Structure 1
Amino acid sequence: MIILPAIDIMDGEVVRLEKGNFSRRKNYGTDPVSLAKFYKNAGFSYLHVVDLDAAKTGQPVNQSLIVDIARESGLFVDVGGGLKEEEDIAFYLENGVFAVNMGSLAVKEPGRTAKLIQKFGGDRIYVSLDLLGEDVRIHGWQEKATVKWQDLMKKLIKGGAETFVMTDISRDGMLSGVSEDFYKRILNTFPDIRLFASGGVSGLEDIRVLDRLGVYGVITGKALLEGKLKTEELAEWLC
């Protein structure tokens, strides 16, 4: 299992939202590039970056900043937020970003998403699904989709999807602990996917729970930013 620190960007700053609510935003006063370098120096190899401005508007906003993060940190960066055009995906993948996350596009246009996966590879295109209970949420979690997550995942896997970033919105940014049942249910239904768990990490015990479940990776933002999770505690998972 690998650990991915998360950097959420809004107005060029590192922020965290509570349950995806844009009105419940906390600024950390930290330069995103400097924070990424800190994580690299602490021993991390991977980084999850979300362009919240893009997630809200549906158009990439912080492209140059995100490319700087990838190039200057030397981390394997995956990025999400507002990505739907092939040229934007290609821009990131050709400029130092390791992988991109397809969220709203994957929900609304799974067929088109499958073509992008076939072109760029299942290891470079992640499917990012955000769930609030049984509901799939899109457009920065502001809109409820009509599709069932199980049916959508089956279709996307058939189209070549290998890696899924699954966020439990009800716990995201809350430091309330992860829902073991949430991720267990996903893995029981789709045991062969590479699953990145996101939402609710509050400390080391949550990391241990997810490791025992067999998730491929864990994304954690607020717990690291606020010192609830110490980098020195994570040595066995850093690679």
Structure 2
Amino acid sequence: MIDLIPAIDIINGECVRLTKGDYSQKKVYNANPVAIAQEFASMGFKRLHMVDLDGAKSKHVVNADVLRAVSQATSLSIDFGGGIKTQEDMDKVFDNGAKMATVGSISYTDPQTFEAWIKRYGADRIILGADVRDKNIAINGWIDNTNCDVFGFIDHYRKKGISKVLCTDIAKDGALGGTSIELYKQLMERFPDLYLIASGGVSAADDILSLDQAGIPAVVFGKAYYEGLIDINKIRHLLYGIG
């Protein structure tokens, strides 16, 4: 069964969502991310995906204090991404309570450093962030495009030991128009043992159920929940017979 992972995106210390990665299309959902995280924990979730959107844009971790506050206030296993470019950034992420780091841009711009982190921390503690626009990798908070094909990108790091990949289709993210299920199916056909986390576009329970039926291991959801479009208890009942 598919793993359900709630998401909290942070700008200026607040819980927000963008539309298609556009910082000008920002909506604040709660000024207190800790309260949102506690809400997820009270619902029985064990995992949390946190994104430092300030960090992604400024190219260094900015909201480590929010990470620390959430980690101290809950027992959620947090994976944290956004702006992780240096060893100092990695230290901030792990020192402030993250169990895993989601790393995207540096894996493209400086693979030597990224591969050193895989060896230092272990592949289980690192999630490869594969943010795509037209199936090519995009970096630096989705601002900069590359000509790097997502399939080749993932293949390279699978050979380096990476087993967890969070793949976001930027055109879908925050748009509430459905997920890139065909892309995820193609990735699973190519990499059947990959722990693929689908991200972007969840708009209804059917989107999650379709991903589950397609054999996608995990899904991140955010905006659809904040907008009241999905009933998590209903989804968990349909998937797991609980809730």
Shared fold (TM-score greater than 0.5)? Answer: yes
- How far did residue 41 of structure 1 move? 0.3
TM-score by length of 2: 0.94
Which AA in structure 2 matches 1:233?
K
Q: Distance in 2 between matches of 1:56 and 1:215?
A: 29
* Residue 52 of structure 2 is aligned to residue 51 of structure 1: yes
Structure 2 CA distance for aligned equivalents of residues 109 and 137 of structure 1: 14
Report deviation, 1:135: 2.1
The corresponding residue for 1:194 is 195
1:74 aligns to what?
A: 75
Contact 1:136 1:144 in 2 (8 A): yes
Rounded to whole Å, the distance in 1 between the matches of 2:95 and 2:216 is 28
**CA-CA distance at 1:170 after TM superposition:** 0.9
Counterpart secondary structure, 1:61: coil
Contact 1:40 1:75 in 2 (8 A): yes
- Alignment correspondent of 1:41: 42
SS of match in other structure, 1:79: strand
Equivalent AA in structure 2 for residue 107 of structure 1:
Y
State the match for 2:87 in structure 1.
Answer: 86
Paired residue for 1:95?
A: 96
Separation in 2 of the partners of 1:213 and 1:114? 31
User: How many residues are aligned here?
Assistant: 239
Report what 1:27 is aligned to. Answer: 28
> Would you say the 8 A contact 1:201–1:207 is kept in 2?
yes
Deviations, residues 47-104 of structure 1 (Å, cap 9, x unaligned): 1000000000001111011111122121011010000212321332243211011110
Q: Is the 8 A contact 1:114 1:161 kept in 2?
A: no
**Normalized against structure 1, the TM-score is what?**
0.95
Question: Partners in 2 of 1:110 and 1:129 — Cα distance?
Answer: 14
Matches of 1:105 and 1:181, distance apart in 2: 27
* Equivalent in the alignment of 2:7: 6
Distance 1:95 1:29, change over 3 A: closer
Structure 2: runs of 5 or more not aligned: none
Q: C-alpha displacement at 1:145, in angstroms?
A: 1.4
Alpha-carbon deviation of 1:111?
A: 2.8
For residues 217 and 94 of structure 2, the distance between their equivalents in structure 1, rounded to whole angstroms, comes to 22
Which residue does the alignment assign to 2:113? 112
Structure 1 residue 146 displacement after superposition: 2.6
One-letter code aligned to 1:166? C
Do 1:196 and 1:218's aligned partners in 2 also have CA atoms closer than 8 Å? yes
Q: Determine the C-alpha separation between the residues in 2 that align with 1:44 and 1:224.
A: 14
- CA contact 1:169–1:199 (8 Å) conserved in 2: yes
| Cα distance in 2 for residues equivalent to 1:23 and 1:228 | 23
**Percent identity of paired positions between Structure 1 and Structure 2:** 36
Give the unaligned 5+ runs of structure 1: none
Whole-angstrom CA distance in 1 between matches of 2:191 and 2:111: 17
SS of structure 1 residue aligned to 2:26: strand
Contact 2:13-2:31 at 8 Å conserved across structures: no
Deviates more, 1:143-152 or 1:85-94: 85-94
Q: Provide the aligned C-alpha RMSD in A.
A: 1.6
